[in-house]
Amino acid sequence: MYQILEKKVLAPKITSLKVDAPEIAAKAEPGHFLIVRVDEESERIPLTIADFDREQGTLTIIIQEVGFSSKQICNLTEGDVFRDVVGPLGNYISTERYSKVVCVGGGLGVAPLYPKAKSLQENGAEVISILGAKTSEMLIMEDEFKAISDQLMISTDDGSQGRQGFVTDILKDKLEENNDIDLVIAIGPMIMMKFVSKLTKNYGVQTLVSLNSLMVDGTGMCGGCRVTVGEETKFACVDGPVFDGHLVDFDEQMRRQTFYGDYEQEALSHAGGEYQCHQQ
Amino acid sequence: MPSAVKNEMPLQDPEERINNFKEVALGYGKEDAVQEAERCLQCKNPACIKGCPVEVNIPEFIKLIKDGKFKASLSKIKEKNNLPAVCGRVCPQEEQCEAECVLGIKGESVAIGRLERFASEFAAKESESVEENESENQKQSLGNVAIVGSGPSGLTAAADLAKLGYQVTIFEAFHKAGGVLTYGIPEFRLPKAIVKSEVENIRKFGVDLKLNQVIGKIKSVDELLNNDFDAVFVGTGAGLPRFLKIKGENLNGVYSANEFLTRVNLMKAYKFPKYKTPVYTGKKVAVVGAGNVAMDAARTALRLGAEESMIVYRRSRQQMPAREEEIEHAEAEGIQFNLLNNPVRILGDEEGTVKGMECVKMKLGEPDESGRKRPLPIEDSEYVLDVDTVIIAIGQGPNPILLNDTPDLETNDWGTIVAEEDTGQTSKEGVFAGGDIVTGAATVIKAMGAGKKAAQAIDQYIKSEIYGKV
């Protein structure tokens, strides 16, 4: 059992949970993810480790309500437990030997971006961070990024904070201004990572993306998370989840992500019915 | 003279059973079992024992059933076999113990598997006292052994080592123990309650079971050896699915059999939406491959409501690797067999979901390296099979997570661990391996046999290495 030690609501429907998991915290590195399961009837859900503290033996995960399972996790409170937490999974990324990097985070993707940005900064890179959200209210981890970035820029779809528009607008300016950027990391919705990768390709700048594919086991034994990278099929859980953005087939990934949409609805409405019964 | 044929085992009616996940084979009753046990000739030099990879004393346990001593019969089996309820159900007895039975020369061999299952079932309720007595025997631990993987080889090695007096810890990556018994073989062939109780029986020997632990990630094999453990047994199986590497394989509606079966068996997707893991089954399902995993997937699809479920196999019926019994059950349930057919590409609609599979017809040529006739495509025979779900069941390889993390563990060209056949000793001192991670995908009982041999070898290793030096 893995206890929740601290809960913070970061934005509407976005929750941060600090979980007691000393064995996993001891091995966690930027890029690693977890598979969690709340109770006996739950799905296995992949979540990136947004932060870890080896001394306290804790992991931080940040999650947004989108379907039944994420809602169930967001409804957990301090003292509650996850029945299962597996990790650290996936490949961690090497953050040494970069001198100037742009870290681009969109929506909830800001959370998995953080440990990588922090580690790049600790290894001596100049960090330019670009965070995007739908509205100012939905923007998360601004303070954390302020602390580790040499420059921090924000864009919102509605212009309620920072520049109005998309992260790619700011990124384009940065790529024009600087010809010594040696890495772009982009994490966010698949469509955002697709357009970031398209843009950076024109400038020939190495670009890493972290895919949030559907997963079951997260250990390479089912292939549910497969993705076409270059000409090859890779498993995001063991070969990734970080890949070269210039090689990923994003359209295929977007299609695969929507496959269980109807089931998500059914799970939600089924649960809704149950809750009503309990109330009566 | 004994009857020439086996006592029939009652089965759930095919029309009924395709609508549920309950066990198909219902098992012998007391009278059936005693009658079948009476067929055994009690040979002086029993060949059946040689056919059993864990060398159960078959004539003796059968004699005990004949005499009505069911509990003693189970104890006799358990001297050698730690998972009798599983083996009685899923072993290919026709290729092992029953293949050697002398009655099989002129008629049908004794139904050893069915009797083993009967003993495990009938005595299950009374067997606890047996377990407890055995666990009392172990007082001081002779040493600590780590077992990686809780499938058949790991469970067997763990139980045998615990019986010998070792403190054993199993590390399992999933949230449930059992390996393929839990995530792979469906409920209708091997009820999960039975797997659970077999695992519980093994834990009663004092075996510690740590779930959610991916060795190679949370701990390395070296860390296990450096910290607490005198030896490590690697029984991580062959869980890496193979794909066909044809166009359209990443379309929605294409599953590996591992994913499809894991969703249904481990995550209980057949009980969606009570259980939250979904599984998609269209109206027309094609399963590519013809092993036991393919039969399991095709029969599962039917139970999930597919109107048509078919096997697509590039060779002919004779070469199908699945057990005859499973093929017969599949046929009775209405699974179609598209033999001598090979997929060329999978076709999708605008939304990227499967809408058909292009196949080419095949003919058989001369035997290949495997000894089976080589399938050859017939020119210009391509056609489109009307399906909306494709499940790939063409085999599994070894999972590389642990191996990549332990580079000094020697592997061969197929990525399996190189280990001595009689001992499981690997290239790395103190590390033993057995089951599918050494042989590639094989059978439950072979994995158990390997776990048994490795347990003996680990006992000898620890006694000579650790105590020998003192």
Q: What is the pLDDT of residue A274?
A: 46
Q: What is the pLDDT of residue B139?
A: 59
Q: What is the pLDDT of residue B124?
A: 64
A221 vs B217: CB contact, 8 Å cut-off?
no
Q: How confident is the model at residue A273 (pLDDT cuts 50, 70, 90)?
A: very low
Helix (H) or strand (E) holding B457: helix B444-462
Q: Does A266 touch chain B (CB under 8 A)?
A: yes
Rounded CA-CA distance B181/B195 in Å is: 7
Which residues of A does the annotation place in the binding site?
62-64, 222, 225, 237
Q: What residue segments make up the domains of chain A, in order of their start?
A: 2-89, 100-258
Write down the number of H helices and E strands in chain B. Answer: 21, 16
B231: helix, strand or coil: strand
CB burial of residue A7 (10 Å; 0-12, 13-18, 19+): middle
* CATH topology identical between B144-239+398-468 and B241-396: yes
Q: Please list the residues that pair with B114 across neighbouring strands.
A: none
Closest residue to A255, CB basis, from B212, B273, B352: B352
Q: What is the pLDDT of residue B129?
A: 47
B360: helix, strand or coil: strand
Buried b (16+ CB within 10 A) or exposed e, B409-422: bebeeeebbebeee
Average pLDDT score over chain A: 93
The CATH number of domain B144-239+398-468, selected from 3.50.50.60, 3.30.1360.200, 3.40.50.300, 3.40.50.150: 3.50.50.60
Please check whether residue A15 is in contact with residue A47, taking contact to mean a CB–CB distance below 8 angstroms.
no
Q: How confident is the model at residue A272 (pLDDT cuts 50, 70, 90)?
A: low
Examine residue A241 and say whether the peptide bond preceding it is cis (omega within 30 degrees of 0): yes
A41 vs B217: CB contact, 8 Å cut-off?
no
Residue found under tokens 């598997």? B113
Q: What does the pLDDT average to over A57-78?
A: 94
**Measuring CA to CA, which residue among A249, A243, A11, A214 is closest to residue A108?**
A11
B217 vs A226: CB contact, 8 Å cut-off?
no
CATH number of A100-258: 3.40.50.80
Triad B213, B236, B84: Cα angle to 5°: 105
Rounded CA-CA distance B455/B458 in Å is: 5
Q: Above 50 in pLDDT, residue A275? A: no
Q: B200 is written with which tokens?
A: 């519980």
B276 vs A85: CB contact, 8 Å cut-off?
no
Residue found under tokens 């000898």? B460
Q: What residue segments make up the domains of chain B, in order of their start?
A: 14-128, 144-239+398-468, 241-396
Q: B469 is written with which tokens?
A: 């030096």
Q: Does domain A2-89 have CATH number 2.40.50.140?
A: no
- pLDDT, averaged in runs of 10, over chain B (470 residues): 83 93 94 95 95 94 95 93 92 92 93 95 61 53 95 96 96 97 96 93 94 96 94 95 95 97 96 94 96 97 96 94 93 97 96 96 89 90 97 94 92 93 95 95 91 96 76
Q: Which residue of A has its CA nearest to B405?
A: A91
Q: Does A67 touch chain B (CB under 8 A)?
A: no
Q: Above 60 in pLDDT, residue A67? A: yes
Given its phi and psi angles, is residue A225 left (phi above 0), alpha (psi -120 to 50 degrees) or beta? alpha
Architecture of domain B14-128: Orthogonal Bundle (1.10)
E strand intervals along B149-223: 167-171, 208-210
- Residues 6 or more apart from B418 whose CB is under 8 A from it? B410, B411, B412, B426, B427, B438
Interval A207-255: pLDDT, tens:
999 999 999 999 999 999 999 999 899 999 999 999 999 999 999 999 9
Class of domain B241-396: alpha beta
- Distant-in-sequence contacts of A6-13, Cβ < 8 A, 24+ apart: A6/A78, A7/A76, A7/A77, A7/A78, A10/A62, A10/A140, A10/A141, A11/A133, A11/A137, A11/A138, A11/A139, A11/A140, A12/A137, A12/A138, A13/A64, A13/A65, A13/A74
Q: What does the pLDDT average to over A86-112?
A: 94
